[in-house]
Amino acid sequence: MSVGYEAGGMSDTDTEEGGVVEPGRPVTLGSREEYDRLLGEPLVLLEFVTPGCGICASMEPVLGNVARVAPGVVAIADATTVPELAAEYDVRKAPTLVVLRDGEEVARLDEGFQPAERLVDLLERHAED
C-alpha cells in the first residue's frame, strides 16, 4: 500500500491497496513512513486499533462519516502493525483516538466508542484554534 500527500490535503493520485483514495475517506497507515507523510497535514484524527477489537470495528463507519464532514484527515493505524508508533503515543487500549494539530497531540479519547458528533466537534474546535 502506498499513501501520498500534498501540502494541504491528499492528492487525487494517492493510492491505497492499488486503488485511488477518495477524498473524505479514512487513510489506513501501514508504516512509519506513511505516518511521517501524514504529519504534513495541519489537522489529523489518528485512531489506533487492534485486530479483533469489536469497538474498533464498530468505529469504522463512524470514522467514514467523520472523514466526509469534518476538517482534517482521518487515519487508522493498527497498533500491532506499527508498534513503535503506538509506543510513541503510549497507546494502552484500543481504540485510542489522538488529534494532532501541526504534528502535535492536542487531544486524546480512549474511553471506548465515540459518536461521530463528538469527533466532528473535537476536530472543528481544534481547526479553529
- What does the pLDDT look like over 7-54, one tens digit per residue? 334 433 343 443 334 568 999 999 999 999 999 999 999 999 999 999
What local confidence, expressed as pLDDT, does residue 128 receive?
85
Q: Taking residues 80-109, what's their average pLDDT? A: 97
Listed residue (66, 85, 62, 83) closest to 74, CA to CA:
66
Q: How far is 95 from 13, CA to CA, in rounded Å?
A: 29
Residue 107 above 70 pLDDT? yes
Residue 4 above 50 pLDDT? no
- What does the pLDDT look like over 85-98, one tens digit per residue? 999 999 999 999 99
Global pTM value: 0.83
What local confidence, expressed as pLDDT, does residue 7 receive?
33
Strands 43-49 and 73-78: parallel
For the 24-128 domain, the top CATH level (class) is alpha beta
Q: Degrees (nearest 5) of the Cα angle 22, 26, 30?
A: 105
